[in-house]
Amino acid sequence: MPKPMNEILNNILTVSLTLFAVIDVLGSIPVIIDLKRKMGRIESFKATLVSAVIMISFLFLGEKILQMIGLDLASFAMAGGIVIFLIGLEMILNRRFFKTDEGDTGAGSIVPLAFPLIAGTGTMTTLVALRATYDAYYEIIPAVILNLIVVFIVLNLTDPIERLLGNGGINVLRKVFGVILLAIAIKLFKSQLATVIEHFYELACTLKQAPLS
């Protein structure tokens, strides 16, 4: 049975907020400003386009990659919930659990802006984790597009946004979205844990009903 439109819209909003918190483009404004000063300018369209390719590709190929290495989606989703939880703690406690190599080279609009700043490990893990709960075509892709539009706007308006929010405003936003991420991570973990328990229960019932040889 197809989902009602209001449920789809609510799910798109939930996924959008999740990705917005994980990508944390507002919290990355200081890094973006530093890159802009070093490079002279940022190619906003190129960075957004590369981020889109990475995110959509991993959304649809991530599960196949997992199957190739012998992992199921539910297990990876639970691991993704833990990663999202750590990212939330990172934002709230102002600590770095995930560190990137500052020696990365390449076009700054692609490395490190598109990857790993926008479409990094946390974003890709989140996409696979979300796919275990939400529909990829109707709920996740629109949320990805909405976030990429926000990313594109922020990349073009970095300086005015920094002046408007100030360091204090950016820090408040990071902590608010950190709390949201913690709640979403717990929800994802609980939903996948229930799926795993249900799977083992059905397996146990099947074994119990199987005739002894």
Reported as half-sphere exposure (CB side, CA atoms, 13 A), residue 11 has a value of 19
CA 96 to CA 86: how far, in whole Å? Answer: 10
Predicted pLDDT at 106: 44
Question: Which 3 state secondary structure label does DSSP give 185?
Answer: helix
Q: Which residues contact 125 (CB under 8 A, 6 or more apart)?
A: 76, 79, 80, 83, 84
CA 55 to CA 53: how far, in whole Å? Answer: 6
Question: What pLDDT, in 10s, does the model give residues 107-150?
Answer: 566 866 787 678 877 788 889 888 888 988 889 999 999 999 99
- What Cα–Cα distance (Å) separates residue 101 from each residue in 10, 26, 59, 84? 37, 21, 25, 20
Parts of the chain with a pLDDT under 70: 1, 34, 37-38, 73, 96-109, 111-112, 116, 196, 199, 210-213
Q: Is the sign of the CA dihedral 147, 150, 155, 160 positive or negative?
A: negative
Q: Which residue ranges make up each domain of the chain?
A: 5-209
Predicted pLDDT at 16: 95
CA 177 to CA 63: how far, in whole Å? Answer: 27
